[in-house]
Structure 1
Amino acid sequence: MFTIRKATNKDVKKLTEVGKKAFYLPHKDAIPKHIMDVYLKENFNEENIIAEINNKNFEYRLLYVDDTLAGFSKIILNQKNENINLENVTKMERLYLVEDFFGKGLGKELFKYNLDFIQKENQKGIWLYVWIKNFRAIDFYKKVGFKKIASYDFPISATETRPNYLLFLEF
Structure 2
Amino acid sequence: MKNMSVIIHKAGIKDLETIQSIGRQTFSETFAESNSEEAMKTYLEESFSTEKVNSELNNPDSHFYIAWEEDIPVGYLKLNSASAQTEAHDDTYMEIERIYVKQSHHGKKVGQLLYDRALNTAQSFNKNYLWLGVWEKNLRAINFYRKNGFEEFGSHTFRLGDDDQTDLMMKKKLS
| Aligned-partner Cα distance in 2 for 1:112–1:2 | 13
| Aligned-partner Cα distance in 1 for 2:86–2:137 | 25
The letter for the 1-side match of 2:20 is T
The letter for the 1-side match of 2:166 is P
Q: 1:55 aligns with which of 59, 63, 76?
A: 59
Q: Residues 44-66 of structure 1: CA distance to partner in whole angstroms, max 9, x if unpaired?
A: 12221111111111101111111
Asked if residue 154 in structure 1 is aligned to residue 158 in structure 2, the reply is: yes
Q: Is the 1:80–1:88 Cα contact (8 Å) retained in structure 2? A: no
Identity of aligned residues (%): 27
Q: Which residue of 2 aligns with 1:94?
A: 98
Q: Is the 1:80–1:90 Cα contact (8 Å) retained in structure 2? A: no
TM-score (norm 1): 0.92
Q: Residues 91-135 of structure 1: CA distance to partner in whole angstroms, max 9, x if unpaired?
A: 111000011111111110111111111111010011111111111
Q: Which residue of 2 aligns with 1:40?
A: 44
Q: 2:74 aligns with which of 62, 70, 75?
A: 70
Q: Which residue of 1 aligns with 2:26?
A: 22
Mark the runs of 5 or more structure 2 residues left unpaired by the alignment: none
Q: Runs ≥4 in structure 1, deviation > 6 angstroms? A: none
Asked if residue 169 in structure 1 is aligned to residue 169 in structure 2, the reply is: no
Q: Which residue of 2 aligns with 1:145?
A: 149
Q: Is the 1:59–1:75 Cα contact (8 Å) retained in structure 2? A: yes
Q: Quote the offset at 1:29 in angstroms.
A: 1.9
Backbone CA RMSD of aligned residues: 1.6
TM-score (norm 2): 0.90
Mark the runs of 5 or more structure 1 residues left unpaired by the alignment: none
Query: How many residues end up aligned between the 2 structures?
Result: 168
| Aligned-partner Cα distance in 2 for 1:80–1:41 | 19
